[in-house]
Amino acid sequence: MRIVRTWRGVVRSDDLETYVEYVQETGIDEYRATAGNLGAWILTRSLDEGRSEIVTASLWVSLEAIRAFAGDDVGAAVFYPEDDRYLLERDRTVSHYELAD
């Protein structure tokens, strides 16, 4: 069973490119460096009033592999020092889905 982990946040559209680079250098790189990670991606879209949404999606071999990245509470989002600078809204939890083959 493979697991997809997703998280979402909202930033100012003017900050989107910079924040995407930051997420790439922190969370995405850390995902990919963790044993049991099968890939990680950043999805973005424009919302309204100068806001953009960012979604991270990562593919894992198991919840145990996710635990090696996220810690014991695999449902809690992992944040990095500069996130507060960019995020207007953020999910404090993540969603996990079983990948249907």
Q: Per the structure block, which two tokens stand in for 21?
A: 């680079």
Confidence tier at 2 by pLDDT (50, 70, 90): very high
Label residues 57-87 b or e (16+ Cβ within 10 Å = b). Answer: bbbbeeeebbeebbeeebeebbeeeebeebb
CATH number at residue 74: 3.30.70.100
Q: By C-alpha distance, which of 97, 87, 75 is closest to 26?
A: 87
Tens of pLDDT, residue by residue over 64-85, are 999 999 999 999 999 999 999 9
Percent of residues, the chain, with pLDDT higher than 70 = 100
Cα 20 → chain centroid: 10
Domains of the chain: total: 1
Question: Residue 1 pLDDT more than 90?
Answer: no
